[in-house]
Amino acid sequence: MDSKPEQGIYPHRNDPQHLMLRIKLPGGAITPDQLDLIAEIAGADGTVDITTRQELQIYGVPAAEVEATIERLNKAGLSTLGAGGATVRNIVGCPAAGVDRQEAFDVSPTIKQLHDFFLGNTQYADLLKPLRLSVSACADRCVYPATQGIALVGLSRMIDGKTKPGFDLWVGGTMSEPPSLGRSLGVFIKPEEVLEVVRAAIDVWRLVPECL
């Protein structure tokens, strides 16, 4: 098995007999059973990293066992697809989503919706460059929306006398060279509109690369 970054499979320290697997965790969410599986795969002497995009990286996976290992991860609800290459990368979110009493609302369903749509979606598997996306609604903006290609910042707004949840859309941030800060477009997006808007933003980016 060769390295395939778009599938989350990477070279391992100039060792052709082993590879590194990067696992996407939307919003950084993982269950105890999934952690146990990762520990089992890594082994007693293995190494597992936590990335800045809330992913896990397992080092030292024998190249001959990569396909079987990915099958085990898939059966446990984990995936390496799109963890590298010019794809929609792991969607980051506030680690306290759903329990933070000061957050505007729980954005976990929106993260899951976006992750499920883009995971393995060949229409978005060969982008101009990696697309980094965040979804959060905490007061601290802990995912730094200005550094993301597309960021959805949760907030609430009065509509017809009622408080409604939604998102402000930020675009254009990157930590790559040359770095740039994203900016808010000043629009209010309802949760049910998110997928359509994000897809449209990516489509515009493909036509006008400098916009993201």
**pLDDT tens digit sequence for 57-113:** 999 999 999 999 999 999 999 999 999 999 999 999 999 999 999 999 999 999 999
pTM of this structure:
0.92
Q: For 94, phi and psi rounded to 5 degrees? A: -65, 130
Tell which residue, 135, 171, 165, 140, has the closest CA to residue 153. Answer: 135
**How large a percentage of the chain has pLDDT more than 90?**
80
Q: Tell me the backbone φ, ψ of residue 183, rounded to 5 degrees.
A: -140, 150
pLDDT for 1 equals: 63
Predicted confidence at residue 103, as pLDDT, reads 93
Across the range 148-168, mean pLDDT stands at 93
Angle subtended by helix axes 66-75 and 32-42, to nearest 10: 170
Half-sphere exposure of residue 164, counting CA atoms within 13 Å on the CB side? 14
The number of helix segments (H) and strand segments (E) in the chain equals 4, 8
pLDDT for residue 211: 64
Average pLDDT over residues 22-43: 96
Give the DSSP letter of residue 173: -
Model pLDDT, residue 72 = 97
What average pLDDT does the structure give for the chain?
A: 92
What number is the average pLDDT over the span 133-151? 95
**Is the predicted pLDDT of residue 14 greater than 80, yes or no?**
no
Q: How far apart are CA 119 and CA 98, in angstroms?
A: 23
Percent of the residues in the chain that have a pLDDT greater than 70, as a whole number? 98
What single DSSP character describes residue 24?
A: B
